[in-house]
A and B are shown apart, each in its own frame.
Chain A
Amino acid sequence: SQTIHQWPATLVQPVGSPLSLECTVEGTSNPNLYWYRQAAGRGLQLLFYSVGIGQISSEVPQNLSASRPQDRQFILSSKKLLLSDSGFYLCAWSVLGGISTFFGPGTRLTVL
């Protein structure tokens, strides 16, 4: 069966510090991978979308970047965090023609 891992689960970082969040998927090949952000009490906003290694589409302009160094690994990064980067970050995967999009457990990021 397929599983998706995210780490860390929680993170508190000062403004201006770098960020690296990691996501890995097991049990599937060539998945589409996504990073979503959920602000407090709000819906999910798609940040990045990847259909394959090294292929990243950015959905919104922002202070963040994403990379996909391996087929089932997706990384969210920032060189300098802003207060507005605080939120709940969710990695997700799907396969073309599959049942749905499946989400990981999320990372709670607080920027102080």
Chain B
Amino acid sequence: QQQVKQSPQSLIVQKGGIPIINCAYENTAFDYFPWYQQFPGKGPALLIAIRPDVSEKKEGRFTISFNKSAKQFSLHIMDSQPGDSATYFCAASMGNEKLTFGTGTRLTIIP
């Protein structure tokens, strides 16, 4: 079964800290790994995505680290702000379609 395991389930970080959310996948055919940010009552919004030919990708304060041999990838948020408080989902797919999602991480940034 195609699964993506995400941890932790929830995370509380002080403003300015670096929350790290981890995901692991099983299907080696996956070649696209996006992260989504979701605020309460809203649809998920694409945050950043990576393909397995690179080990790291940065966009602003958000960084994905990718370890192909371990089949793991993680999201780091630099200089976290209270406005980053949201639920974050990792996902994986072949191509950019039919995403398989992790179970989500509820992130709270405290001032």
A residues in contact (CB < 8 Å) with B = 32, 34, 41-46, 49, 59, 90, 92, 94, 96-106, 108
Contact = CB atoms under 8 A, between A and B. Distances in A.
B96 A34 contact: no
B52 to A, nearest CB: 16
Contact of B43 (A45, A59, A97, A105): A105
Interface string B76-111: 000000000000010001011111111110000000
Interface of B: 6, 34, 36, 41-46, 49, 89, 93, 95-104
26 contacts: A34-B98, A43-B101, A43-B104, A44-B99, A46-B99, A46-B100, A49-B98, A92-B43, A94-B96, A94-B97, A97-B96, A98-B96, A99-B46, A99-B96, A100-B34, A100-B49, A101-B34, A101-B46, A101-B97, A103-B36, A103-B45, A104-B43, A105-B42, A105-B43, A106-B41, A108-B41
